Each structure stands twice: as C-alpha cells, then as structure tokens.
C-alpha cells in the first residue's frame, strides 16, 4: 500500500537521475497527480510503473542533453505535476487511448498528454489541456473502448467513513520523528520513539530530510482527512 494513495508512494516520484526527493512545497502537486494515476491504473487493475515523475532542473536538462535536444522550458516535471509511465500488460498505444477516453468521460483531469511512439512510455500531467507527439502522428483511438467504467479517485474534501477504512499502523524508528495531523492542522500530536499508533484516513505523507534540532533525525508529517486521530 502506498503512502500517498492506495498504490503510489512519494518515493516513486523522486527525481531518479540524482535520487532527489520531491521538495516539500510540491507535495500537494504529487498527491493530486497520484489520484489521477489511480484512475488510469484501475482501467486494467495492473501495476502502473513510473519512468519519470518529478525532475530537478539539472536532471531535466541532462536528460535532453543526452538526446541532443534543448530541454523544453516550463516542463510540468519540474513542479511534480507530470508522470511518464507504462501500465503492466498493455501496450503504450492502448494506454494512451485509455487516457484519452478517461479524459473524454471526465474521469481524469484534462491535462497534458504526450505521445512518443509505440515503444515508449506516455506522458500525462495535471496542468492545462495540451496534446503533442514527437513521431508525427497519434494513435488511432477511434475504435478503442474502455474495458469497464473506471471509478474516479476520491477527492480530498470527501470525508471517508472511518468504519470502512483499515487503520494505518505507524511505528516510529529510533532515528525518526513523526507528527500526526488532521487535514488543515486542526489536530496535531507527536509520536514518541518506539510508540505504535493507529490512525484512519491517511491522505498524504510529508517528508523533511533534516531536523535542525537534531540532524541525525528525519521528520515525517502524516496528514489525515479532517477526522480525529484514533489511538489503540
């Protein structure tokens, strides 16, 4: 189970070339993107593998330098709003057409959709509607039909029923510090080293690499959906 959504974790969206974590100020972008990717993943119910998520500017420029092309300015990868990905068991062509149909149905946000050919991952982002290709033409999706009616990802403002949700068990490592909050910081508590806590409605995880008060520690802030935090 992911720490962002059911199937996606924050670590998957790191800038892979330099192994750089997504900056804290971009975490909300990653969460929105992950929720859209959950809907795309649900079309077949098989793993969706990210080949690129967030990119540092240096990583972004290095990727295009190796291809002998200038890096496009304003890439949504730089602000953690874009993902290049493949879906296990289906071709990039079918994946592209599935996203086209999901956008038409309003099941996912009408953002950017890039086609790089039948042997490459596709690009999807949650910015303004845009379409582009690097191979001169797009897949013919005129006859493509989704195998089932996908369910839109739950929105942050929808408060879940606690009775229907499994608890998230958090155990604190001796070299970590964890704070639990409700959405909007209406409730906040520190989890002591070695303590185990169960909480419901995990909406996101925030990771701060450096605790200035104790550089040997990492700080995690786990945010929950505007509901009381339950302890055992």
H/E run at residue 165: none
Task: Give the phi and the psi of residue 202 in degrees, each rounded to 5.
Answer: -60, 120
Q: What's the pLDDT at 4?
A: 85
Residue with tokens 């700080």: 219
Q: What's the pLDDT at 133?
A: 94
If we measure between CA atoms, which residue out of 91, 88, 63, 92 comes closest to residue 75?
A: 63
Q: What's the pLDDT at 214?
A: 53
Q: What's the pLDDT at 112?
A: 95
Are the C-beta atoms of residues 56 and 18 closer than 8 Å to each other? yes
Name the pTM for this structure: 0.66
Rounded mean pLDDT for each run of 10 residues along the chain, 232 residues in total = 84 94 89 94 93 96 92 92 96 97 94 96 95 94 81 42 39 47 45 48 44 50 43 39
- Locate 229 and state its tokens: 């935090």
CA distance 179 to 132: 42
Domains (ranges, CATH) in the chain?
A: 10-133 (3.30.1380.10), 162-224 (no CATH)
Are the C-beta atoms of residues 220 and 178 closer than 8 Å to each other? yes
Q: What's the pLDDT at 72?
A: 85
Q: What's the pLDDT at 148?
A: 62
């Amino acid at each position: 189970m992911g720490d962002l959504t059911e199937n996606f974790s924050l670590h998957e969206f790191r800038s892979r070339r330099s192994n750089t974590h997504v900056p804290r100020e971009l975490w909300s972008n990653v969460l929105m993107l992950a929720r859209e990717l959950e809907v795309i993943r649900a079309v077949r119910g098989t793993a969706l593998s990210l080949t690129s998520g967030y990119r540092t500017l240096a990583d972004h420029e290095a990727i295009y330098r190796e291809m002998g092309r200038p890096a496009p300015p304003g890439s949504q990868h730089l602000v953690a709003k874009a993902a290049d990905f493949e879906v296990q068991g289906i071709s990039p062509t079918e994946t592209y057409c599935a996203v086209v149909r999901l956008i038409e149905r309003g099941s996912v946000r009408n953002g950017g959709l890039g086609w790089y050919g039948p042997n490459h991952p596709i690009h999807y982002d949650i910015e303004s509607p845009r379409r582009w290709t690097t191979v001169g033409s797009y897949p013919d999706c005129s006859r493509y039909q989704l195998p089932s009616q996908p369910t839109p990802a739950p929105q942050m403002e929808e408060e879940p029923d606690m009775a229907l949700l499994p608890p998230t068990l958090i155990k604190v490592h001796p070299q970590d510090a964890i704070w639990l909050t409700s959405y909007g910081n209406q409730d906040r508590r520190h989890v002591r080293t070695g303590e185990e806590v169960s909480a419901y409605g995990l909406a996101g995880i925030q990771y701060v690499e450096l605790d200035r008060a104790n550089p040997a520690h990492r700080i995690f802030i786990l945010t929950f959906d505007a509901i009381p935090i339950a302890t055992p």
